[in-house]
Amino acid sequence: MRAKFDEQLAQLNDSLIEMGGMVERSIAEANRALIERDAALAQNAIDMDEDINDMEKEIESLCLKIIMQQQPVAGDLRLVSSVLKITTDLERIGDHAADISEITLRLSGQPVVEMRDYFPHLADATSKMVAETIEAFVKKDLDLARSVIAYDDTVDGLFNKVKKVLVELIRQNVDHSDQAIDLVMIAKYFERIGDHATNVAEWVIFSLTGMHKDTQVM
C-alpha cells in the first residue's frame, strides 16, 4: 500500500515540475514576443496557456485521487494540499503570460516605444522567482523559498520604476498614451507573476513546516 502511495507522490512531484517548466517557458516566450514585437511568438505563448490549464486539471485529479485512496495525514497531507494550492498559482502565472502576449498582439505593427532597458529586467526577475520557487519545492529548501519571498520587493521596485517611466512618457507625448497604458498593464502582469511566485513559496514553506504566513496550520 505504501509503495503505491510513494509512486503516486513521485508522479505528483514530476507533474508539478513539468508544469513549472511549462510556466517558465511561457513567461520567456511572452517576454521575447514583447521585446521583438513578434506576433507569431506571442500567439505561441497564448496557445501554451491551454496546455498549462490541462496540466493543472491533471494534477488536481491526481491530488484528489491520493486523498480519497490513501487518506494521507501529517506531512503527506501537507504536501498534497500544498500542491493543490501551488498549481492554482502556476495556472494564474500562465494566464498572465498569455495576457501579456495578447497585448503584444495588439501592439504588433505599431511604432515601438523603446523599453528594452526596463522590461527585460522585470521579466528576468519574475522568471527567477518562478524558477527558484519550483526549485525550492523540488529540493525542499526552506531558505530558498524564503529568499523568493524577499525578492518580491525587487520585482515591486522594478515595476514602480517602469510605471514611473511610462507615466512620464504619457506626460511628454500624448500620442504615445494608448501604447504606454498597454505597457503599464504588461508591467502589472509581470508584477502579479511575482506575487503568485511568492504564494507558491509560501505553500512550499507550509508543506515543510505546517506554517503558512507565520501561522501554524497543521
Write out the residue range of the structural domain in which residue 23 sits: 2-216
| H helices present in the chain, as ranges | 2-36, 39-70, 74-107, 119-139, 142-172, 177-209
Residue 142 Cα distances to 75, 105, 206, 213, angstroms: 15, 39, 10, 13
pTM score of the predicted model? 0.91
Give the whole-angstrom CA distance, residue 98 versus residue 156.
20
Is residue 37 a contact partner of residue 182, using CB atoms and an 8 Å limit? Answer: no
First-residue to last-residue Cα distance in the chain: 24
With bands split at pLDDT 50, 70 and 90, how would you rate the model's confidence at 218?
Answer: low
What are the backbone dihedrals phi and psi of residue 213, each rounded to the nearest 5 degrees, phi first? 55, 50
Of 53, 51, 55, 31, nearest to 42 (Cα)? 31
Give the whole-angstrom CA distance, residue 211 versus residue 28.
32
pLDDT tens-digit profile of 37-80? 889 999 999 999 999 999 999 999 999 988 888 776 777 888 98
Of 5-19, 75-89, 138-152, where does mean pLDDT reach its minimum?
A: 5-19
Q: What is the CATH number of the domain that holds 160?
A: 1.20.58.220
Number of domains comprising the chain: 1
Give the whole-angstrom CA distance, residue 90 versus residue 22.
9
Please report, rounded to a whole number, the percentage of residues in the chain having pLDDT higher than 90. 56
Residue 159, Cα to own-chain centre: how many angstroms?
16
DSSP 3-state of 24: helix
